[in-house]
Amino acid sequence: MASSRFHRDSVTAASKNGGAQAGVQHRGEKSRVQGSGVGARRFPEPLPLHSSYHAPMEETDDLRDRIREQLADLIAIRRDLHAHPELAYQEKRTSEVVQRELARAGIEFKAGLAGGTGVMAHLAGGDGSNKEYTIGLRADMDALPLQEENAVEYRSQNDGVMHACGHDGHTTILLGAARVLASITQSRGGLPRPVTLLFQPAEEGGAGAEKMVADGCLDGSVLGPPIARMFALHGWPREPLGVVGTRPGSMMAAADTFDLVIRGAACHAAWPHVGRDCVVAAAAVVTALQTISSRNVPPLESIVVSVTRVQAGTAYNILPSEARLAGTVRTLEPQIRRLAEKRLGEIAKGVAEAHGCRAELDFQRGYPPTVNHPEAVEIFRAVATQALGPDRVIEVEQPVMGGEDFAFYGQVVPSCFFILGLVPKGGPAMAELHQPTFDFNDDAIATGVEMFCRLAMGDG
């Protein structure tokens, strides 16, 4: 899940006062989506998705035997990746591990994508019309800027960097699926249809998915035919081990960020009446922004407005000339996203003016909402229920307000993002994602590999 450092749009508009008077100034709007060429790229008509889908399942015992044969190696790979985490667009070693394992399995791949560390692999399959499109499976590879507190022998060897979001597990699961699918190809002479594997950099705020799309990873211009639909998973420390789940529609939120500067006039702290106190103004702005969710957005709509950083002043006896605020806005619907952006500027401007100060807003649009295609979700449910049984397939009741750049794939092809339970039965509660004691549960690898394999081999 993303940490929202990626700024997709920088929203700006001239203030009515031209910036000279008390008020709010916005700085420049640009769209990286338009600049990337994603919208201009032409894709063939997508593979039809049938609501009556029933996946032709690989013989269960045979598939699970193949997975079991790989498990010891996969656990070793996962722990090696955990011990050597790398930040967004710095995943050089991780990318090399992926390329090494793909080469060992005899799988064709293309490296150097999405800024240099992305890898796209392809397994041929199908016949006739089945060869015209491929199923896409994605894993993210980057880690977080966090100091690990686990005492395990494979704890991070890179100071201040750790796999606190489970991307080591995601990458390992996709490598496991690659191995198993390659073994099926070798023993049976092919797969029911082509499969494409995307090992993506920079999910944590760097929009690696957008770069993979812009590089042509979905449209058939890099390797293999165009991708008809995409699937990805995320390890989930709130659900039982072996459980999978998803929901149609909004699965993850849009993740936007903002920076506010409240400008006043500095003075001696003993004589506040001769200055304009930006600290008091900033405190009032922080409180007032919470009325966006309580008074501007309908009660049944979802929104989070959080101020996460407040900075001002250098001394005990000086009222500073400026205070800086920063935070994040999470929404699910486009109209609520626009409303939040509008009201954030209006509130900051009005409150600052009421205190004799001036507000400057830089609102940065990050990842869009991750929206699951309803028929792709139905395919996922059919495959998961047939493979795991109905008791291990859950409906995610509400969207998650975290951000996820898998959203960029879903803007181009029908996609489904699902969760994979990590909590051992009868065990203690797990650390949450992005906490310094989080560690992916190796016992979840087999279920993840099986789901990816079955989704890949399903025939829609």
Q: Which two tokens stand for residue 306?
A: 């959080």
CA-nearest of 46, 130, 57 to 383 is: 57
> CA 38 → CA 42, 182, 212, 414, distances in Å?
9, 31, 10, 15
What is the β-pairing status of strands 358-367 and 24-26? parallel
Q: Is 349 exposed, middle or buried (0-12, 13-18, 19+ CB in 10 A)?
A: buried
CA-nearest of 153, 234, 184, 186 to 432 is: 234
Catalytic residue among 203, 219, 239, 362: 203
Distance in angstroms (rounded) separating the CA atoms of residues 249 and 209 = 19
Torsion over CA: 139, 161, 257, 250 (sign): positive
CB atoms within 10 A of CB 401: 18
Q: Is 204 a catalytic residue?
A: no
Task: Name residue 114's beta-bridge partners.
Answer: none
Distance in angstroms (rounded) separating the CA atoms of residues 221 and 64 = 34
CB 352 within 8 A of CB 300: no
* Residue listed under structure tokens 């686990």: 150
Distance in angstroms (rounded) separating the CA atoms of residues 359 and 262 = 5
Q: Is 362 a catalytic residue?
A: no
Catalytic residue among 9, 142, 239, 360: 142
The catalytic site residues sit at: 142, 203
